Amino acid sequence: MGNKLVPAIIDDHSVNDDDDDNDFIIKNQELKIRLLQDRVLELEDALRVLAHENKPKSWDHKIDNYIDDWFDKNKDAVDIGVIQIMGKMKVDILPDELEKHIYKKTLKILFSLITTPCD
């Protein structure tokens, strides 16, 4: 009887070892899955950022950029905020940023009017 019990105990012990190994493998696989899921989320976020950066600019952004460059090159000639007082003093009553905003809005309105089909 003693000999029959020893193999049974060993078999029970090896079954427990197999269960422990299986639990370890399962936990390890679950951890790998979670890490891969996190990595997928990171890559999806990076892809969204790249897609947004590489998206063609809309016409209003193009107009904004154009007016910024144009105004910087021509600000002395097109500065609508400068007025003369008593023929001698020049006073700038409109800040350059406000003038740029006026030019941008005007060009956007004109562009919209030109490109909108008439019914």
- Supply the pLDDT for residue 68: 94
Contact of 99 with 80, CB cutoff 8 Å: yes
Tokens of 107: 């060009």
- Supply the pLDDT for residue 48: 87
Q: pTM for the whole thing?
A: 0.50
- Supply the pLDDT for residue 16: 60
Q: How far apart are CA 65 and CA 54, in angstroms?
A: 16
Q: Read off the pLDDT of residues 81-109 as tens digits, 9 standing for 90 and up.
A: 888 888 888 888 988 999 999 999 999 99
The pLDDT of residue 53 is above 80: no
Count other Cβ atoms within 10 Å, centred on residue 66.
Answer: 13
What mean pLDDT is reported for the chain? Answer: 83
- Supply the pLDDT for residue 54: 72
In order, the DSSP letters of 61-90 are HHHHHHHHHHHHHHHHHH-TTEEEETTTEE
Q: How far apart are CA 74 and CA 90, in angstroms?
A: 18
